[in-house]
Structure 1
């Protein structure tokens, strides 16, 4: 039985979304093709009807996740004010985001894997990170500060997730929010 083009595209999208959640939770390279397909109720052999390789799927996961990331979505609609940026950063650096990597930003969850990935995966990540940095640069009128804030947010989440105790995790997030407040509102 042949499926419609629409069905194939829906299955492909479901595979990308499911793979993104699985990757952010436990790592992309740690899960085989059979496990990724099983998550959407299909056999491993059907994978190649949608992607030529697992690297091609990872490229698409990175595109999907970074274009829809929590930290990136706040930059999508219209001009980004400093106030809106600050609210976005506060939402990013909270315990709910820390506890739910599968629903959160892919940058801290997949950054190390992207760094070791094939060139197309890294190029896709660079495209979206540069787009985010450019929007923040316009808001802040400072390209270096935009990169520094982006790195601060991602790094704080990575470090906080590494810690075993919730009080330590909250301490890291709170320290990062304080640092960001000082960076965004320097004393005269």
Structure 2
């Protein structure tokens, strides 16, 4: 049975979304094609009807997830430092840490991108650069890079801790440092 181009595109989008959620929770490299496709209610044998390689799926997940995070962040932003600080607080939270499948892709899959091909790394860089540019209009480009790195790094480190108390302490310290940096930063006016 032949499917329409629209059906194939919708199925591919569904796979990217479902595989992204499972990859953020369980890891991309450790989840097989059957698991990634199964998350979308499909059989693993249909994988190559939609993607030429598993790396192509990773690239699509990265692009989709970072753009979604950027749209979510900027959609909530009113252009103020106070709102950015509120968003950072929400990001550096136990709730975000414990709900990986619905959270940001960066803490969960950045190490996998580091081992990916150049086209995936470029897609990752391009997507994060857009987020940094958006933030840079509020707090300056250098501070925006630091906020992104500290936010992601805080979740990565907290995710490796077994003690809830240590996780909370780490996230709180990183948030407070970031809030201070945001509040003292100047936007790029050029």
The answer to whether the superposition gives a TM-score over 0.5 is yes
Which residue of structure 2 lines up, in the alignment, with residue 117 of structure 1?
A: 116
2:11 aligns with 11
The 1-side partners of 2:11 and 2:45 are apart by 14
Q: C-alpha distance in 2, partners of 1:34/1:181?
A: 42
Structure 1 position 119, deviation (Å): 0.6
Quick check: 1:185 aligned with 2:183?
yes
Q: Structure 1's 32 and 170: CA in aligned 2 closer, same or farther, altered over 3 A?
A: same
Determine whether 1:80 maps to 2:76: no
Runs of 4+ that moved beyond 6 A: none
- 2:154 paired with 1:161: no
C-alpha distance in 2 between matches for 1:38 and 1:180: 39
2:150, 2:174 within 8 Å by CA — same for their partners in 1?
A: yes
Q: List gaps (5 residues or longer) in structure 2.
A: 185-190
Kindly provide the CA deviation profile for residues 111-142 of structure 1, in whole angstroms up to 9, marking residues without a partner as x: 100111111111111001111111111111x2
Per the alignment, in what secondary structure is the counterpart of residue 2 of structure 1? coil
Structure 1: where are the runs of 5+ without partners?
none
Give the match for residue 44 of structure 1.
44
Normalised to the residue count of structure 2, the TM-score between the two structures is 0.90
Q: Considering only aligned residues, what root-mean-square deviation do their CA atoms show, in Å?
A: 1.6
**Post-superposition offset of 1:32:** 1.6
> What TM-score does the superposition give when structure 1 sets the normalisation length?
0.91
What do the CA deviations read for 1:73-116 (whole angstroms, capped 9, x no partner)?
22247762212211111110111101011110000110100111
Corresponding position of 1:137: 136
Q: Distance in 1 between matches of 2:180 and 2:93?
A: 18
- The answer (yes or no) to whether the contact 1:80–1:135 under 8 Å persists in 2 is no
Q: CA deviation at 1:9?
A: 1.8
